Amino acid sequence: MGSLLVVFLRRAYIVDERLPFPEGLACAEVLRAGEAGGTSALPLLWGGLAAAALKAAQDLAGVLPDTVQTARWIGACTLAGSADISAALPGVGYIVGIRIASLVFLGGAVAWLIAIPIMSAAHPELRHLDPQAAAQAIWSGQVRYLGVGAMLVGGFATLWRLRTPIGRALRESIRMARATQVAVPPREDQDLSNTAVLGGAALSIPLIFAICLILSGSLLLSAALAIALAIIGFFATAIAGYLTGIVGASNNPVSGVTIIVLLAIALLLKLWGVPAAIGPHLAITAGAVVCTAAAMAGDSLHDLATGFHLHATPRALEISVLLGALASSLVMAPILNMLISGYGIAGTPGARAGALAAPQAFLMAKVAQGVFAGGLPWGAVGAGVLLALALVVADRILERRGARWRTPVMPVAIGLYLPLGLSVAIFAGSLARLMRRAGERESNSGPGLLFAAGLVAGEALTGVLSGALVTAGLKLPLR
């Protein structure tokens, strides 16, 4: 469903909006350099080798940490800071540029340098912990929900701002489906037909209905959920597609989109009168559907962005992405079961030392259970909504004044939701681009961008190698 629905978003996000899509641009640069050959590919090669060496030192050898962090108590407040040791994140920051990266960093600074110290003063029971643990507890239990509230507003604001290009794409698809004779668009602008996209997405509805029926035993409730998730799926893929266009597929906060859907579905189920014994299970199932669709949408749009930069045929890529989605669905469950049997999930029965932490999964479970049993930090969600509304107003004022710097909500919401170390690393990469000569800074090509693309690609490929070793039964790090 996610791989299909992005067809309606391709033109709006990639052609009209021109979002950065860091990995998509990086892949395009890799292919261009490979075709050109010679010395033009050297920056890409050096970037890839540097990233691979750093990632191998972390994952395989275990001699470097993933993050450096510090924290201390200042009176009754805890102040914590961190920076991810990563090659790909500065590469992403270099690609997206200072404007977006600075907003992501702003969100992280608000969360970690303002919200957490203020909230820690109101929780004296945490003062027996070390400052880093106290800051982490407040972030995961309270402050992160600022980002959830901001994403909720940002999602609606993004869809509203892009209503014209998205609506135009939908109307054009409907017009072409109804017309008996239509002009053939240029090859670089040919998508799957409207009938194929909607028909393929509709095939998922009976499957969702069957899963919900197994859990609930109610025909009416299962049918309502299946139809609702098909509609919500488009909303979620639209938000996830926009997010991944900003910070990349590797850093796409899909869990934030999923939590928004979980929250909405759980509230609707509670209003429906679904008992607490079944409601959280149904909400988690709904979240799994939307999470998968949103993740696939982000990856698929990066593939289409690569094709856009290389003047490929979108329809061919869309068919290939769909075949890849079907193939991966057949092997994902066995791989996950292998990881769970080999490591276990921390906090669950049978988990052993070195079990997989799965923090996002526990956060989602907390949301689903919290709606039915109580305990959700609604104040933090509301504060995030108010902050996002203020950003929307500021962005509108800046737009009317013709300002170069704007305040779109989504980058700030990402910074609020994700760890500070990620925001710092992305911001550092954007500063590196800012310090280059003006011509190179504004260019979307050149050795600097090739080196950044190599950083992204090198870390990604080494991460795939690490995952293959774990799947094969090796325990990492090897030392």
Nearest Cα neighbor of 296 from 344, 257, 349, 339 is: 257
pLDDT in the model for residue 452: 87
Above 70 in pLDDT, residue 21?
Answer: yes
pLDDT in the model for residue 23: 76
**Which comes out higher in pLDDT, residue 10 or 386?**
386
Mean pLDDT of 90-115: 89
The percentage of the chain sitting over the pLDDT mark of 70, rounded to a whole number, equals: 88
pLDDT in the model for residue 332: 84
pLDDT in the model for residue 181: 55
Residue-wise pLDDT for 193-213, tens only, equals 877 888 888 888 999 999 989
Cβ neighbors of 407 (< 8 A, separation 6 or more) are: 103, 391, 394, 395, 398
345 DSSP assignment:
B
Radius of gyration, CA atoms only, the chain: 23
Distance separating alpha carbons of residues 248 and 20, to the nearest angstrom: 8
Q: Are 107 and 423 in contact (CB under 8 A)?
A: yes
Query: Binning pLDDT at 50, 70 and 90, where does residue 354 land?
Result: low
Written as six digits, the tokens of 138 are: 């407040």
Written as six digits, the tokens of 5 are: 């629905």
Written as six digits, the tokens of 450 are: 């090739």
Mean pLDDT of 154-173: 70
Above 80 in pLDDT, residue 257?
Answer: no
Tokens 């290939």 belong to: 320
Written as six digits, the tokens of 372 are: 């039915």
Task: Give the least confident one: 87-96, 306-315, 322-331, 355-364.
Answer: 355-364
Query: Binning pLDDT at 50, 70 and 90, where does residue 90 land?
Result: very high
Above 80 in pLDDT, residue 291?
Answer: yes
Tokens 């008996």 belong to: 180
Mean pLDDT of 96-121: 90
Mean pLDDT of 361-366: 77
Q: Are 283 and 265 in contact (CB under 8 A)?
A: yes
Q: Are 433 and 98 in contact (CB under 8 A)?
A: yes
Classify strands 77-84 and 67-74 as parallel, antiparallel or unpaired: antiparallel
CA of 425: how far to CAs of 45, 50, 115, 445, in Å? 21, 16, 21, 22
Mean pLDDT of 165-188: 65
Mean pLDDT of 419-427: 90
Tokens 């029926």 belong to: 213
Q: Are 84 and 449 in contact (CB under 8 A)?
A: no
Q: Are 103 and 84 in contact (CB under 8 A)?
A: no
Query: Binning pLDDT at 50, 70 and 90, where does residue 102 land?
Result: very high
Helix H, strand E, coil C: the string for 356-378 is ECCHHHHHHHHHHHHHHHCCCCH
Alpha helices in 248-358 (DSSP H): 254-272, 279-309, 314-343
Nearest Cα neighbor of 136 from 447, 457, 359, 397 is: 359
Distance separating alpha carbons of residues 115 and 148, to the nearest angstrom: 14
CA of 432: how far to CAs of 45, 96, 309, 452, in Å? 19, 12, 24, 10
Above 70 in pLDDT, residue 179?
Answer: no
pLDDT in the model for residue 106: 93
Question: Bridge-partner residues for 72, per DSSP?
Answer: 79
pLDDT in the model for residue 126: 85
Question: Bridge-partner residues for 220, per DSSP?
Answer: none
Above 90 in pLDDT, residue 236?
Answer: no
